[in-house]
Amino acid sequence: MSEETATWRPGEIVPESGIYECDCGQGHHWSTDVKGHRFPPLPAGCPGGTWSLRMDAHPDT
């Protein structure tokens, strides 16, 4: 699975700090997560199931 298409479920360990979006397709459910923490639950009423990285916290490294 490539870095661009990798997804994680709520409760899994965050692989790298950054901004993550749920897969519901509505584009408005964002979460800023820190490497080593666990992904939070998806927002109430969200039909999505996973988080995917949208912006790396350290894009120049």
4 lies in which domain range?
Answer: 1-61
Average pLDDT for 16-44: 89
The string of pLDDT tens digits covering residues 46-59 is 999 999 998 887 66
Rounded CA-CA distance 59/24 in Å is: 25
CA angle 27, 24, 55 (to 5 degrees): 45
Closest CA to 8 of 45, 33, 44: 33
Structure tokens, 30? 């964002």
Residue 1 is predicted with a pLDDT of 44
Domains of the chain: total: 1
3-state helix, strand, coil in the chain (%, to 5): 0, 30, 70
